[in-house]
Amino acid sequence: MYDLKFRLINKSDLKFLFNHLKERDPRENISHKKMPTYDEHVKFVLSKPYSKWYIIFEKNKKIGSVYLTKADEIGLHLKKEYFRESMLKEILECLMKNEQNKRFVFNVSPRNKKFMKFLQKNGYVISQQTVVKYFE
């Protein structure tokens, strides 16, 4: 349906990833409370925090990113104009086909209701809730 491609991130993607992070709705964030500086972001990306981190392309245009942690947790972020159920479904199908894992886990902010509804509609089950308190 879509012309999707995945490419492992590289240094040329740093600016795209940072701008993409800035565009995200703060309700989606679970890894940070405050927006990092560009230098902090670069340091984080170059530390290779995930087992795999891909840029998602649709018709050769960067539309988002997806990563897999070492515990097979998925972080998926699309530019707002591409956030459609059909697009999400196809991205996840491609990812699961590529990775051939038996199980994937999403850590989703409870405030990200739209994505939670999509996951539940597509057979994902809420198995736990994590509680966090940030200290300044």
Q: How far apart are CA 52 and CA 77, in angstroms?
A: 14
Q: Identify the pLDDT of residue 71.
A: 83
Cβ–Cβ contacts within 10 Å for residue 96, how many? 14
Query: Whole-model pTM?
Result: 0.84
**What is the average pLDDT score of the chain?**
86
Residues 9-53: pLDDT tens digits?
A: 999 999 999 999 888 766 665 565 678 899 999 999 999 999 999
4-121: what CATH class? alpha beta
pLDDT value, residue 134? 67
